Amino acid sequence: MISEIAAGIVTYNPDLEKIKDKIEQLEDRVGRIYIVDNASDNISEIQDLCEEIGRRSVALIENDSNKGIAAALNQIMSAADEDDFNWVLLLDDDSMVSGKMVDELYEGTGYKDIGIVCPRIKDLNTGRYISNKGERRDKLKKRFQLLESCITSGSLVSVDAWFAVGGYDEYLFMDFVDFDFCIRLRKEHYRIIQKNNLVMEHELGKTEMRRLLVKKTEVMNHNADRKYYITRNRIYCEYKYNGRFGLRNAAGVVKALILIICFEDDKAAKVKAVLKGVRDGKKDGKKLTVRGR
């Protein structure tokens, strides 16, 4: 066990077998496991599971409504801070975890100014490696490499760094939460590093590879709510850091609409959600530029 490390899992109507597997893999490797539940329909079963296999090692924090990923992550990090842990391994319920993962990531904490240590990511649906932003293939033979950003799940996060940047932005609710957090870490001169020989399998929605004209592209098949937050937060973050809604993000919105129309079901609801996301992202993003944030 590495006593200065805790683990944190955010749940919302989770697959109990997946949660049970994570607890069993991690309970002997970390000091405590925090589960923050965002008002799951199966909360009584989650309570029973935590009571059954983790009386001492698992702390369940129950929210009376879905407060979103960012708020739940802040609850995990705050609880770990109060319990004097220095690092927290953050996980989604759809990530595959092994006990050795803790030891592998911990190797990176000895470097200076580390905010996050993360693994490489492999999509369970397509079998493809998903590059973290800034990953360079020519550096994959090294033990570690420096990144620009990484996804939240599988990341070993410094409690001190989390505190220094003011935590996760709860406005974002879900999507772009990790991207935003990593930008603020780097602004405060913290580093994000990847353990190159450690691969975590992670389910990225219900991803399919489909051919659009002459090129294959990923179709994520997110529901309408996720489409809304992805679009809104993409635009909001563009205003937050660049003060504008640029052509690259406009192209991203157009591509999302094309993929919905060509390949996805529930087309009308998803198109409506994307357009609402554009409206709200621009409206709330412009408020940031007025305040000079």
14 has a pLDDT exceeding 60: yes
More confident residue, 206 or 115: 115
More confident residue, 211 or 230: 230
Q: Are 187 and 104 found together in one domain?
A: yes
pLDDT category at 57 given cuts 50, 70, 90 is confident
DSSP tally for the chain: helices H, then strands E = 9, 11
91 forms beta bridges with 9
Q: Are 9 and 129 found together in one domain?
A: yes
Angle between the N-to-C axes of helices 224-242 and 177-187, in degrees from 0 to 180, rounded to the nearest 10: 20
Please give the sequence-ordered ranges of beta strands (E in DSSP) within the chain, or none if there are none.
5-11, 33-38, 58-63, 87-91, 114-123, 129-130, 144-147, 155-158, 191-202, 208-212, 215-219
Q: Are 78 and 170 found together in one domain?
A: yes
How long is the chain?
Answer: 293
Domain boundary residue, one of 202, 218, 252: 202
Q: Quick one: which of 81, 154, 85 has its CA closest to 116?
A: 154
243 has a pLDDT exceeding 80: yes
Q: Are 50 and 129 found together in one domain?
A: yes
Q: Are 110 and 240 found together in one domain?
A: no
Please check whether residue 189 is in contact with residue 113, taking contact to mean a CB–CB distance below 8 angstroms.
Answer: yes
pLDDT category at 110 given cuts 50, 70, 90 is very high
Q: What CA–CA distance (Å, rounded) separates 7 from 60? A: 12
Instruction: Give the chain's mean pLDDT.
Output: 92
Q: Are 14 and 145 found together in one domain?
A: yes
Token pair 């620009």 is found at 148
Domain boundary residue, one of 168, 202, 236: 202
Q: Quick one: which of 136, 128, 6, 134 has its CA closest to 59?
A: 6
Range of the domain at 132: 5-202
Structure tokens of 132?
Answer: 């973290």
Q: Are 167 and 86 found together in one domain?
A: yes
Q: Quick one: which of 256, 280, 281 has its CA closest to 270?
A: 256
Domain count, the chain: 2
Q: What CA–CA distance (Å, rounded) separates 194 from 143? A: 8
130 has a pLDDT exceeding 70: yes
Please give the sequence-ordered ranges of beta strands (E in DSSP) within 39-112, or none if there are none.
58-63, 87-91
| pTM (2 d.p.) | 0.93
Q: Are 218 and 197 found together in one domain?
A: no
Q: What CA–CA distance (Å, rounded) separates 258 from 271? A: 9
Please check whether residue 25 is in contact with residue 98, taking contact to mean a CB–CB distance below 8 angstroms.
Answer: yes
Token pair 């709510």 is found at 225
pLDDT category at 212 given cuts 50, 70, 90 is confident
